[in-house]
Homo-oligomer: A and B are copies of this chain.
Amino acid sequence: MRSDTPEGAGTVADLGEFSLIQRLTVGRAQPPSTLLGPGDDAAVVVASDGRVVASTDVLVEGVHFRLDWSTPEQVGHKAVAVNLADVTAMGATPTAVLVGLACPPETTVELVDEITTGMWKEAGRARVGLVGGDIVSSQTLVISVTALGDLQGRAPVLRSGALVGDVVAVCGRLGWSAAGLAVLGRGFRSPVTVVNAHRAPEPPYAAGAQAAMSGATAMIDVSDGLLADLDHIAEASGVAIDVRTDLLEVHQRLVDVGTALGADPRHWVLTGGEDHALAATFPGPGAVPEGWVTIGTVWRGDGITVDGRPYEGPGGWQHWR
């Protein structure tokens, strides 16, 4: 943790909870979906069709992020992004996040300022409110985020709706976060676009509602890895899914990083998690929306295959069975 406090604000223990919350929330803009923001016992958020979509994720320092690998702002960005991706994967439009922050009393106000700045920025990019939260003392830095979303009259897109004959498509990056993690793990800090894809993923927030409107039958956000997450859909739907590698784009930058590190970039694309792309099934090629890439087909049976065969790469999906 940083110990320099250029603004002289000291530690969170010096400032106290009420002053800290005041400092982190005052003057921040909220979108129209925030009917009542921070400052009362609870927030009030639009849920236009009489339902609300909600998901919680917890990130722990040293487990889900490292402050020597990511800036505090990137950590805040990531904590918000991974949660909004879950709401998006139901076909909902994200509306708000609530943040629980547990941090050591000696944490500098500057660090918390930077984490929450990353949260506010990513919430702004997704056009959602940061509507409430809690800041408490803990030996370990733990960030809990709850994201809310609005289905706007659409049916939620579950993991269990994939049908035999559906096509499988993805929207967003695959393998970039894993490549970035590999780079950081070797002690490098570049190429920065790859490393930042790990530090601060950018899920395609609008693509979830887009897929739902296009008739997606099942959807998930790719947090564990493409094959692992497609297996969640296959299992919930009682179907098999085959992924075709000739349809999977491997970006030249990942090829370059793979060459530099002596790793197979295709493996990152198939099994790397944390990019929070969306993977969905659609009733036919004509239903796949613009910006989505078709990568496979739903078959009778169970489990995941790659080009018709079980995937045998190291760390492949079978490890999650």
A residues at B contact (CB < 8 Å): 18, 35-36, 39-60, 62-64, 86-87, 89-90, 92, 96, 98-102, 131-140, 142, 144, 146-149, 151, 156, 158-160, 219-221, 236, 320
Copies of this chain, count:
2
A132 CB contacts on chain B under 8 angstroms: 54-56
Residue of B48, B135, B221 touching A41 (CB-CB under 8 A)? B221
Q: Name the prevailing secondary structure of the A interface residues.
A: strand
* B44 and A51 form a contact (CB under 8 A): yes
A58 CB contacts on chain B under 8 angstroms: 100-102, 134-136, 138, 142, 144
Residue of B56, B96, B101, B134 touching A99 (CB-CB under 8 A)? B56
How far, in angstroms, from A87 to B35 measured CA to CA in the complex? 15
* A136 and B54 form a contact (CB under 8 A): no
Residue of B48, B64, B156, B220 touching A136 (CB-CB under 8 A)? B64
A64 CB contacts on chain B under 8 angstroms: 136
* A42 and B53 form a contact (CB under 8 A): yes
* A35 and B56 form a contact (CB under 8 A): no
How far, in angstroms, from A144 to B219 measured CA to CA in the complex? 27
A100 CB contacts on chain B under 8 angstroms: 56-58, 100, 144, 146
Smallest CB-CB separation from A43: which chain B residue? B54
* B50 and A50 form a contact (CB under 8 A): yes
A40 CB contacts on chain B under 8 angstroms: 90, 156, 158-160, 236
Task: Tell me whether A50 and B53 are in contact in the complex, defined as CB-CB below 8 angstroms, given that A41-B89, A100-B58 are known contacts.
Answer: no
A60 CB contacts on chain B under 8 angstroms: 102, 136-138
Residue of B55, B140, B144 touching A140 (CB-CB under 8 A)? B140
